[in-house]
Amino acid sequence: MQNLKEFERPQSLDEAVEKISAKPGRRLLAGGTGLSITDSKTTIGLVDLKSVGLDYIEDDSDAIKIGATAVMRALEESSLLQNYAGGLLADVAAEVGTTPLRNMITAGGNITQLRVWSDLPAPLLALDAEILVTDQEGETTYPAQKFFHRHPSQLLDDTDIVTEIQLPRGIENYSSSYTKFVAVDDSYAVTSVSVVLDMEGDTVKDVRIGVGSASPSPARCPEAEEELVDAELNESLAEKVGEICRANVNTTDNVWGSGDYKSKLIEKLVKKNLLQAKTS
């Protein structure tokens, strides 16, 4: 960012909206981990979101609300999240990078940048979360499925500010299971699978499966979920569902794994996490 000349630290969301819209060439600064590996010649100003008051995680009657600048460490340590849907989001946050990174990486940055190491999108899909975005016109709410349908940069303008993630009420007592498949502990995922499950006896009442890092955008597996609902979850069904997920997620190659291997992992991790969620 050799042409960077301005640094703004607005004290409210309104001021942030005003600052980011004031001039072209301004970018938002949240945790800074994404910006640190960006070398943009066109960025002339940064608008720091640190002081606009978006670092909350709070219980609200309609939803659990996670402010966009809440860091991974806060998610990891939040008792609210630890007790929501089997603690899925707290578990996911706990495995992001290393502790120093978790003290920097923000929830909003993680989902907006959507890089291969973004771990939140897949579980947010599985939780049917909603993402709030503010610009000069006002606030827009996107379901996670829409937000992550393509890369968020294609959905959002440069002046849009992701402000909040909302986790829906009604699934607090669902169980969940998560696997981040890595080569070494602090590496990013070759593939990750999140399962959120509601059972009545051995029968599945509701289920959501999110797959991360295997493809450019995180994926839900509706075909697999349909197969499960109202069925008896046992090993053979879990295996079959794994195969369905494998067939329905288009995987891609990167340095940490081939698409073929990621497909195999999806199959096995979906099975494993379904069975784990069932017993947890």
Partner 1 sequence: MREDTPQEELNYVGKGTERVDTTEKLTGKAKYTGDLRMPGMLHAAVKRSPHARAKINNIDTSDAEAIPGVHAVVTGKEFDYKLGLYLVDKDVLARERVRHHGEAVAAVAAESPGLAEQAVKKIDVDYEVEEPVLDALEAIEDDDKLVHPELDDYDYFEPAFSPQPGTNVANHTKIRKGDVEQGFEEADHVIEREYTNPNVQHVPMETHVAVASWKEQDELDVHTSCQSPFTVRNLLCVAFDLPHTNVHVEVPYVGGGFGGKAGIGVEPLAACLSKKANGRPVKLEASREEEFSLLPCRSGLTYRIKSGVTEDGDLVAQKMTMFWDSGAYADYAVNVTRASAYSASGPYEIPNAHVDAYTIYTNKPYGTAYRGFGHVEFSWGLERHMDLLAETIDMDPLEFRKQNALKPGSITITGEKIVENTGNVTKCMEVAAEAINYGELTPEEKKRQEETGMKIAKSVSALHKAPAMPSFTATAAELRMNEDGSINADLSLTEYGQGTYTALTQIIAEELGFPPERINLSIKGDTDKAPYDWQTVASKGLLMSGNACIKAARDLLEKAYQDASEVLRADPCDLDHNENEIYIKHHPEESVTFSELAVGYAYPTGEGIGGPIIGVGRYMAQGLTNLDKETGQGEPALDWTYGSHGVVVEVNEITGEFNILKVASAFDVGKAINPANIRGQVIGGLIQGLGTTICEGYAYDDEGHLLNPSFTDNKIPTSMDVPEEIEGIVIETPQIDGPYGARGVGEHPMIALCGAIGNAIYYAAGADLTHMPIRSEDVWWALHKDEDRDRPRYSIC
Interface residues toward partner 1, by CB under 8 A: 2, 37, 98, 117, 181, 183-187, 190, 253-261, 264-265, 268
**Is 55 in a helix, a strand, or coil?**
coil
- Of residues 130 and 267, the one with the C-beta less far from partner 1: 267
Least spacing, CB of residue 38 vs partner 1, in Å = 13
- Of residues 172 and 186, the one with the C-beta less far from partner 1: 186
Least spacing, CB of residue 255 vs partner 1, in Å = 5
Rounded Cα–Cα distance for residues 5 and 41 (Å): 11
Least spacing, CB of residue 42 vs partner 1, in Å = 14
Tokens 């291997």, located at residue: 261
Please, are residues 132 and 139 in contact by the beta-carbon 8 Å criterion? Answer: yes
What's phi and psi for 180, nearest 5 deg? -110, 110
- Of residues 123 and 257, the one with the C-beta less far from partner 1: 257
Least spacing, CB of residue 37 vs partner 1, in Å = 7
Rounded Cα–Cα distance for residues 76 and 227 (Å): 32
Rounded Cα–Cα distance for residues 71 and 98 (Å): 12
Least spacing, CB of residue 248 vs partner 1, in Å = 19
- Of residues 204 and 265, the one with the C-beta less far from partner 1: 265
- Of residues 60 and 186, the one with the C-beta less far from partner 1: 186
Rounded Cα–Cα distance for residues 249 and 278 (Å): 23
